[in-house]
Amino acid sequence: MLKKLIVLGCITVLCMNMVYAEKDTKSYPPSDEAGYALLESLVVAFGDMARTGTGGFDTVNPVLQRQMAMLKKARSQNQVDALFYKRYHRILEVLKLTIRKKETDPEGILDDFTHQEIKKFIMDVTGADATISPPENRGIGAIAGTIAEEIINLHLYLDSRLEREKVMKKYMEWTKPPKK
């Protein structure tokens, strides 16, 4: 369990550099501040765990619960859009499945479901088919890399929202019927 958290923490520490470097050079549109704050708080929490060597279900679960509460609040106040909500929520789901205690499911009732969902997440984010065949290969490296990739994707999504609107208008112009 600790190995999983250290790997996840190391990957998120890599993402921290991007978050902090950009923080100094860019001011975020007020409409996206909550999204950036959610990403940063998740990366910082796992970075702290990696630096201190702490982790485990009892440490990570409260972090995930706080993240979910903040996400729900941001969504209810229209501070994050539906796409950001869904994708960030999925990160939290995968993390929760990754840290679940074996003792809570000693017969492995959720094993197949857990591995299916994690493999689907990896495929959706990276396009790669992950080889996960517990207990030998739990795919922790692939999970950590995919979570880092999705955090970066969400950050870039927020960065490009204004530009996306311009591009959409341009495409809409191209699809208008000719003027008579």
- The pLDDT tens digits for 28-56 are 455 789 999 999 999 999 999 988 888 88
pLDDT band of 115, cuts 50, 70, 90:
confident
Number of domains in the chain: 1
Residue 159 within a domain: yes
Residue 113 within a domain: yes
pLDDT at 138 over 90: no
Residue 132 within a domain: yes
Mean pLDDT along residues 113-127: 92
Residue 180 within a domain: no
**pLDDT given for residue 8 in this prediction:** 52
Residue ranges making up the domain that contains 112: 2-175
Residue 73 within a domain: yes
Residue 72 within a domain: yes
Residue 90 within a domain: yes
**pLDDT given for residue 25 in this prediction:** 43
Q: What is the mean pLDDT of the chain?
A: 83
Residue 126 within a domain: yes
pLDDT at 76 over 50: yes
Helix, strand and coil content of the chain, in percent to the nearest 5, comes to: 75, 0, 20
**Which are the contacts of 88, defined by CB distance < 8 A and separation ≥ 6?**
35, 38, 39, 71, 80, 154
What whole-number distance in Å separates Cα of residue 55 and Cα of residue 46? Answer: 9
